[in-house]
Amino acid sequence: MATLFSEAARVSAPREKGPKTNQGARKRENMNLNIWQILVLALLQGVTELFPVSSLGHTVILPGLLGWGDLVRNQQFLPLIVALHLGTSIALVAYFWRDWYQVGRTLVVSIKQGEIRRGTQQWVGWLIIIGCVPAGLLGVSLETPLKQLFATPLVAAGFLMVNGSILLLGEALRRRAHTPEVNATTERQGRQGEPAVSRTWEPVHRPVGMPNVATLERLPDPQRRQARSLASLSWKEALLVGLAQSLALIPGISRSGTTMVAGLGVGLSHEDAARYSFLLGTPLIGAAALLEVPQLFGLPVATLGLVLLGMGVAGVAAYLSTKFLLKYFERGRLHPFAYYCWWAGFVSLLFFLAVR
């Protein structure tokens, strides 16, 4: 994913003719980066990587809105974004360290035993591996053409609006999947904006000392479908979620958003879908960063200091975002993020069309 950001800079950068001169090399060493830019980019990366609003789309769009074209076109913009991704990945490992310890231990046990039992914690570890396969393969094979086609602010703004529609579609599918058919004799309308739900109604008598008048009490519907656990997924469903994650190769489409929608589609709760999304993202974000880490070597000391600061800020932002989102998705929904994507994408689209 980090290499996608670099291509956004390379696509808009003018091509150099002839051999590179020492003057050009010195220019690459002196990236005009200030503390405010690194703080904005670090917060942007740390928050939007986990919120379902597309970190890639924001990293392509925001520099265009702020007029940071020189920074983005600089060849050292890639190591900067790579470092911010690495900070995010480290934060995710720190937050889910118990999960990753359990996953690693159970994977070793299952390999030693030569047996994989579905529905167990061992199976969750394999679900993470299976879910990473599609994004890894498609990222390697399709990244270059996708970068050339989509790594522009105008297109990213358009796909950000598409991302909002994907989030709303996921909520609609979840609501349809978890709402049972309503019996005409027991149909009751819920609060405004909620679907009608079949309920069982029973006469209930008041306790002693209160008027003994029979009333009706609404009981939960035993036929209402419950959300599935993560361990109950099949390998085909894990591949489907991983395939949805691959859509994030397009700037403006959120990795966490598409994986959450796919998770809801296969019956997971919002909380488990978010958890699976974050666990899937950790190895992919880390791998994309580690592939480019050698480019961090040789940076000027001042620039390296800003990069390290950005890594720390991105990591803290990602850690806090993860904590907030897991709590939020215990009851929250994707609608606010969908409306934000529509609004941000539409406003950005109008701006870029106006200044073309």
Query: CA-CA distance, 85 to 119, in Å (whole number)?
Result: 32
CB proximity list for 343: less than 8 A, separation 6 or greater: none
**The predicted structure's pLDDT at residue 197:** 45
Local confidence band at 222 (pLDDT 50, 70, 90 cut-offs): very low
Local confidence band at 204 (pLDDT 50, 70, 90 cut-offs): very low
pLDDT, tens digit, for every residue of 270-308?
A: 889 989 998 998 888 777 777 766 776 777 788 888 889
Q: Where are the alpha helices (DSSP H) in 233-329?
A: 235-245, 255-265, 270-292, 301-328
Winning range, highest mean pLDDT, from 51-65, 73-87, 221-235: 51-65
Query: CA-CA distance, 59 to 79, in Å (whole number)?
Result: 14
Q: Domain extents for the chain?
A: 2-10+28-178+233-355
Winning range, highest mean pLDDT, from 24-33, 257-266, 294-303: 257-266
Query: CA-CA distance, 201 to 198, in Å (whole number)?
Result: 10
pTM: 0.73
Whole-angstrom CA distances from 230 to 79, 115, 267, 277 are: 35, 19, 9, 11
